[in-house]
Structure 1
Amino acid sequence: MSVINDRAPVTVIGLGPMGRAMAAALMRAGHPVTVWNRTPGRADSLVAQGATRAASPAAAVAGSDLIVLSLTDYPAMHDILGPIVSLLAGKSW
């Protein structure tokens, strides 16, 4: 018998201590989680636990309709999401 996961997929962008903690908590709750960080190695432990590592911010945003941002400031958000702002249409973030 197969079980279908009914938990909504979530993307977490920004994997400092808070971002990693949120991603881990979402995975423990059964959500499929996609992660991205400017420093890719910050995702290693989450990927080992089952998260999907996105290769780019665009790929991360494509991973789900719900995007959680855990970034240091607004300039960081603009740097990361500015070039892909059109991909955010219809997403919750």
Structure 2
Amino acid sequence: MTHDETTSTLVDRLGWSQTKVDELLQATAEVMGEYLSEPGTLSLPGVGQLISHKEREYISLNSETGERTLMPPAVELEFKLSPALKEQFSEMREH
């Protein structure tokens, strides 16, 4: 589903204006981004969990030049599907 499809579906279901739905989606994305920039878990009821954690910084060695570079810690994001949604998907595959 594209952004435009998501927006138009929400406009139809909620009866809100396109602008209001765009603002809601933008604010949601900003809040999620801010929260997940640090280690933590963001629960999405009925969907699953987004889990962020920081990888350790490390020193990268260029094998050709011997140059060492300090690589900053990276934020890794993992998604765990909710058991209820996983069950729905498995039932859909069986049919």
Q: TM exceeds 0.5?
A: no
- Report the structure number with the largest CA radius of gyration: 2
Greater relative contact order (Cα < 8 A, sep 6+): 1
Normalization by structure 1: what TM-score? 0.25
Normalization by structure 2: what TM-score? 0.25
